[in-house]
Structure 1
Amino acid sequence: MHTASIQQNILAELDHELAVIRKVLERVPEDQLDYQPHPKSMKLGQLAAHIVNLLAFKQLFVEKDERDFLDANAPKPGPTPTTSAELLARFDQYSASLRQALHDSSDEKLGQNFQLRRGDQVLMNRPKGAALRIMGLNHSIHHRGQLTVYLRLLDIPVPGVYGPSADEPGSF
């Protein structure tokens, strides 16, 4: 019996989630990027950009051993995209880069620890595979869920995520 590796399992899950995230991002209306459902909520454009930028953050888990939020020289995401085309282009670029980093990795490397810090304060210390799953994929899934609520509030059809959507013809 052949058992899939950690790397293969993460790649398979990532491929599924990336396809769903892209479907949701394709629905983000360019003329509503400043929409904010509550004063404590991110604006629609910020939330969509955050979801995309998390892909680069996930890549850090795979390629690096640590990330310090107080490091002024640490890589930072580019400016918030102002068009749907920019948002989707960045998504495609970051997705391809993350997939390549995972493809170039191994179970052994994914078993090594990654530490997320704020100066001397350790925020997370986990194997890279677990960090990618917990702080990477789960984090993106959480924000994608928020984004679907924004779409619903704006009366924009919500695509199916793990099954049919009430907005897709013939779903129910």
Structure 2
Amino acid sequence: MMLEALIAEFEHEVAGTRKLLQSIPSKDIAYKPSPVSWTMGELAQHIATIYYWYVGVFEKEVYDMAADSLERGEPGDIEATLALFEQNVEKARAAMKAATDESLQRAWTMKVGERTVLGPMPKAIVVRSFLFSHIYHHRGEMVVYLRATGNKPPGLYGPTYEDVKASQG
């Protein structure tokens, strides 16, 4: 039952993430709001990469990010990032569909080498916080990047400010 709800939310939100990533113009891919921020391309690539981490959450009890690697391509190539996103969504979808409600109660830990950086905690909590909320957080950042560069973000949960203003004439 819990897994069904998580899969339904995943599928619903993938569509919004896809719209957001597709709205990123190549001309603004190098934009970054501050010296310590990621570029728009790096942020987009990070969002696409989070979907890869679903496999490590659903298929492992201990996920060592130092022992894992993912070919990401150039962050300045939005088409490569969109392809990465689609590949990772398919991997995430398969990992979720192979899981069970019982497996969501198992403890999960993330390490970078010998250092524990998250957990142990039940996988269900990891899915909601480390995966879902993490993506939502970065999607919000991307909306700010788009607006700061004069681009219109897509409506993720209904009409945007621009859509409402346009309908009011």
Identify whether the pair has TM-score above 0.5, normalized to the shorter chain.
yes
Q: How many residues align?
A: 166
CA RMSD in angstroms, aligned pairs only: 1.8
Alignment of 1:11-160 (within 5 A): 11-69=7-65, 71=66, 73-118=67-112, 119-160=114-155
Percent sequence identity over matched residues?
30
Q: Which runs of 5+ in 1 are unaligned?
A: none
Task: For residues 91-143 of structure 1, give each alpha carbon's deviation from its aligned partner in whole angstroms, at most 9, with x where no partner exists.
Answer: 11111111111011111112111101242435321111210111000000000
Of the three residues 153, 161, 171, the one matched with 2:156 is: 161
**Paired amino acid for 1:100:** A
8 Å Cα contact 2:55-2:92 kept in structure 1: yes
The CA deviation at 1:59 is 2.1
SS in 2 for 1:167: helix
Do structure 1's residue 170 and structure 2's residue 164 form an aligned pair? no
2:153 and 2:168 map into 1 onto residues whose CA distance is: 12
1:171 and 1:65 map into 2 onto residues whose CA distance is: 52
Q: Which runs of 5+ in 2 are unaligned?
A: none
Question: Bigger shift: 81-90 or 91-100?
Answer: 81-90
Q: TM-score, normalised by structure 2?
A: 0.90
Task: For residues 4-58 of structure 1, give each alpha carbon's deviation from its aligned partner in whole angstroms, at most 9, with x where no partner exists.
Answer: x111010011111111111110111112211111112111100000000000012
1:171 and 1:29 map into 2 onto residues whose CA distance is: 27
